[in-house]
Amino acid sequence: MLLSLLNRKEKLKFLDLAMHMVSVDGEPTEVEQRLLNMLLAEVGEGIIQEYHFSLSKDLNETIDYFKKNSPMVKNIVYLNLIRVAMSDDFYNTLEHFFLQDIQKKFAIEDTKKNQLMRLVYTERDLRERAKRIVSH
């Protein structure tokens, strides 16, 4: 969501964070892998050809890169990390701590975090309603 607003380097760094997010609790689930593919499609064709699903060696370097960015960029990245964490209906403790650490390092206030989480829930609710409507 809104990843198209990021520049090329921000998109690549975001994908790196997303890979760390899904790997924090082991191998990505099928649902997480599908969401990663959707995120990859959202960042654009040029990035698709350039990006390979692999973890960078230095997560802290990636986090430090975003710490220097604008609040808008940090909010977009954090919003999409929440989407990744909530994608498989299993929001585990390691993912929670990972998100909490990112929130702290990005200096995202709890109010903003709650607003971003509401967006994710609203998106999920809309998707579920659409499934129910088209299936009946």
Following DSSP, what letter does each residue of 54-107 receive, concatenated? ---S-HHHHHHHHHTS-HHHHHHHHHHHHHHHHTTS---HHHHHHHHHHHHHHT
pLDDT at 92: 79
pLDDT at 63: 94
pLDDT at 2: 92
pTM across the whole model: 0.87
Set out the domains of the chain in order of their start, with CATH numbers.
Answer: 3-135 (1.10.3680.10)
Instruction: List per-residue pLDDT tens for the chain, 136 residues long.
Output: 899 899 988 998 998 898 888 888 777 778 777 887 888 778 877 776 666 666 667 889 999 999 999 999 999 999 999 988 887 766 678 888 999 999 999 999 999 999 999 999 999 899 899 999 999 8
Residue 69 exposure: Cα atoms within 13 Å on the Cβ side: 23
